[in-house]
Amino acid sequence: MHTKLVILDRDGTINQDSDDYVKSADEWIALPGALEAIARLNHAGWRVVVASNQSGLGRGLFDVAALNAMHTKMHKLLAAAGGRIDAVFYCPHSPEETCNCRKPLPGLFEQIGERYGMDLKGVHTVGDSLRDLQAGAAVGCVTHLVHTGKGEKVLGQPLPVDFPKGTMAHTDLSEFAEWLLAMSDAAAKTKAGGVA
């Protein structure tokens, strides 16, 4: 059976982004409806994981303890909303470190594929910037842009040509979750032979 997996970017997709980096649990603020959207996916049988560039670590802006505190807050708030994130995969490197895990390179996605023992072709990935989607597209993910965070810049415009082919745009994570659940429902009905 194909694992129902969704891969989300973090800053600008689940929580508010900041040009100065999100450096502490206090600065980690969930976007409206994002935690509820993850809970709705969970309730429909989807596992949710995060793939996030955290170059603030490599730049010395915060340490792993601060990052863990942010994620503890995220997990607690999610639990209160009835949801959960299975795992957080992050790149701790600064751009100068030329690693393979900093998006747009696909290293984080490869780690996720290895952890779950699956090919990520056809897995949905959601992010607010081009590099999030390029990293997912490199391993065959279906790419979704949310118009939160950096994605606000292209709201109301056709997606720039450098976006992966077939990228779908959604207002926010809630709208993506609605779309995915509606798609899954339709697919299940077709499989069951006819519309219920």
Q: pLDDT digits over 28-62, tens only?
A: 999 999 999 999 999 999 999 999 999 999 999 99
pLDDT of 194 > 90? The answer is: no
DSSP 8-state secondary structure symbol assigned to residue 11: B
Percent of the chain with pLDDT over 90: 92
pLDDT of 98 > 80? The answer is: yes
pLDDT of 196 > 70? The answer is: no
Tell me if the pTM is above 0.85: yes
Average model confidence (pLDDT) for the chain? Answer: 95
Active site residues: 9, 11
Beta-carbon contacts of residue 15 (< 8 Å; ≥ 6 apart):
22, 28, 29, 30, 31, 34, 74
